[in-house]
Amino acid sequence: MAYIPQILFIIALGIAAYLISRRVILIKKSIQLGKPLDRTDQPAKRLKNMLLVAFGQKKMWDKPVVGLMHFVVYAGFLLINIEVLEIIIDGIFGTHRIFAEPLGSFYTVVINFFEILALGVTLACVIFLIRRNVLKIGRLSPSKSKDMKGWPAMDANIILVFEIVLMMAFLTMNAADAILQERAVGHYADANAGPFVISQWFIPILDNFSSTLLVATERISWWFHILGIMAFALFVTYSKHLHIALAFPNTYFANLAPRGEIANMPAVTKEVKIMMELEQPGEEEEVGRFGAKDVEDLTWKSLMDAYSCTECGRCTSECPANQTGKELSPRKIMMSTRDRLEDIQKGWLANGYDHKDDKSLNGDYISEEELLACTTCNACVEACPIQISPLDIILELRRYNVMEESQAPQSWNMMFQNLETSMSPWKFSPDDRGKWADDINS
């Protein structure tokens, strides 16, 4: 009977590990649908970029108050969960606060630091909830942004409430534990930890409990906290909060080329060079598809971008096309790409990995109107806190529409014709191109 809690804990840990690993494998397989792309150059520069942007939250500090609150939640998530290691060891071996004895008085310092962070995380999450649901900040509110209607808004609220509840369970557990230590009840007397700076606020409430009820409160809080963390870890793999993990590789593999440098298709570049006699024709290669019709035509990095998107809406709030009432929302481009990947996963789970449906990202998830509204100004790329590029996806989808389906506005077709005949977007002879400057020095 004494080993039943340990057995139950190991079973719960095993189930959580299995479900999370299965989900991670599925996401990895989805990202690998994308075309190859080499992003292994300049490793030192890439590492520096990751440390500054992902770890250091560099781009969050352009809005200092929000940046500070986000940093508290981020730091709290990373640091408070170090105590999960102690909980896991205690759960497996049936011990209680296993690190208290080897760390001595420093253990209390560590737990107090975690408690201060827990309070900071709780306050920040409450403010974020108020911003979303009471103040209704434009880019975050479903009443002001159609991108956030339904699941996206619910997802954000669930995560914020989840974090608050987990922090409360952590503090309640510590408060009950401190009282039980003071009363010298069972093994709690040997913990020798405390007093705790934040959870002591709960003590006046819990001090009226009997020792039996206190033990139950401490155990329920302990189990709720660790099972909640397992559930949280699984939920994150279905949530926009997957950026907690993917922000790091996403910034490491970010595009280091100057903003505005658009990648050409090698096959098209080769044909142009041959036409201009800059290169000799060789063995003909299979060109394949121009642009992207579906997710497998995008690069793996664009698909990682989709899973890394935080749905913060900074890209859309900076987009000039969106500001003028156009249909385009860069955030929605990323959300639609992830929705497409999730639908493909559902097909895999139901029918096997060879399953193909009759849908495509281009048309079924993202409309031509959205694609044509983009001015390629790179404002969305510049605004993103983790260097996601909606523009890469837009350009590939638009390239497919123009080059494969001949779907382009009449004004574009006129421009293309002028480029072909006059080697410029304007309809006049190349010999007359410099005439505008003839009278400048006269």
Please give the span between the terminal C-alpha atoms of the chain, in angstroms, as a whole number: 103
pTM (global) more than 0.95: no
The length of the chain in residues reads 442
Does a cis peptide bond (omega within 30 degrees of 0) precede residue 195? Answer: yes
Which residues share a beta bridge with 366?
A: 362
From CA 49, how far away is CA 252, in angstroms rounded?
A: 6
* Residue 98, phi then psi, degrees to nearest 5: -60, -25
From CA 133, how far away is CA 154, in angstroms rounded?
A: 11
Over the chain (442 residues), the average pLDDT of each successive run of 10 is 86 96 96 94 95 90 86 80 86 90 88 92 94 88 86 91 93 93 88 84 92 94 94 93 92 90 77 75 68 94 95 93 93 96 94 90 94 93 94 94 87 85 80 76 64
Which tokens go with 28? 């990895």
pLDDT of res. 214: 94
* Residue 299, phi then psi, degrees to nearest 5: -80, 160
Local structure of residue 199 (DSSP, 8 states): G
From CA 184, how far away is CA 190, in angstroms rounded?
A: 8
The set of long-range contacts for 320-325, using a CB threshold of 8 Å and a minimum separation of 24, is: 320/375, 320/377, 320/379, 321/373, 321/374, 321/375
pLDDT of res. 279: 78
Name the burial class of residue 412, with classes exposed (0-12), middle (13-18) and buried (19+) by CB atoms within 10 angstroms of its CB.
Answer: middle
